[in-house]
Amino acid sequence: MTQKSLLLAFALCSLMAVSCKKETTTDVTTTAVTDSVSTTEKNIAVVKEMNKAYVKNDIPNIFKHYAEGYTDYGDGSYEAQVYKNTDTLAIYQKEWAVAFPDFKIENDKYYANGDEVVVISDWSATWKGEFKGQKPTGKAFKFKDAEIYTLKDGKITSHRSIMPLKPIAESTGFVWPEEPK
C-alpha cells in the first residue's frame, strides 16, 4: 500500500508539474512566436521595400534601411566589404542603373526567420551603358539568385549572395578586373 501511495503521489506530482510547465511554456512560446512573427514580418517588409526601390533606381529608398557599418560578403569569392555609410553604395548604384537601365527582379519569394531574410528571385538586364570604364555589349543576363540579408533593429547589417557575379558579368562581355597581387 505504501509503494502504491508513493507511486500515485509521484504520478500526481508529475502530472501537476507537466501541466504547470506546459501552461508556462505555452505562454512563453506564444509570446516569443508573436514577437518573432512581428520581427520577421517587419524584416521582410524592409527587404521588399529595398528591392522595389532598387529596381526603380530610387537611391534614397534603397539605402534608407542600411545600417552604418553594413557588410557585403557577396558570394564569398572576394573579401567582405564593410561600408561606414551608404555613399559608396549609392555611387555604385548610379553606375549600375546607367549600365543596366532595364534591370528587373521578378518572381521574388521571401523567407525569413527573425533577423534573417532570404529572397529567391530572377534577375535580368541588358548591358546598355558604360560600366566600370567598359563599353556596353548589348548582351543580356538572366539568372536565379538567392540573396541573404541580416537585419538588426530594422536595419540591414549584412548581405550574402549564392550566385557568383564574375561568370554572370563575363556572360555579358564584361572583362572582370584582375585581382591585385
- Go through 63-97 and write b for each residue having 16 or more CB atoms within 10 A of its CB, e for each that does not: bebbbeebeebbeeeeeeeebeebeebeeebeebb
Cell of 67: 545600417
Measured at the CA of 58, the angle between CA 57 and CA 64, to 5 degrees, comes to: 125
What does the pLDDT read at residue 17?
32
What does the pLDDT read at residue 35?
56
- The ranges of the chain with pLDDT < 50 are 1-34
What does the pLDDT read at residue 28?
38
Q: Domain of 65: which CATH number?
A: 3.10.450.50
What does the pLDDT read at residue 33?
45
What does the pLDDT read at residue 170?
85
Give the model confidence (pLDDT) of 103-152 as tens digits: 999 999 999 998 999 999 999 999 999 998 999 999 999 999 899 999 99
Q: Is residue 161 part of a domain?
A: yes
What does the pLDDT read at residue 165?
78
Q: Is residue 107 part of a domain?
A: yes
Number of domains in the chain: 1
What does the pLDDT read at residue 123?
92
What does the pLDDT read at residue 38?
87
What does the pLDDT read at residue 150?
97
> Cα–Cα distance between 72 and 61 in angstroms, integer?
18
Q: Is residue 148 part of a domain?
A: yes
Q: Is residue 32 part of a domain?
A: no
Q: Residue 48 sits in which domain range? A: 40-171
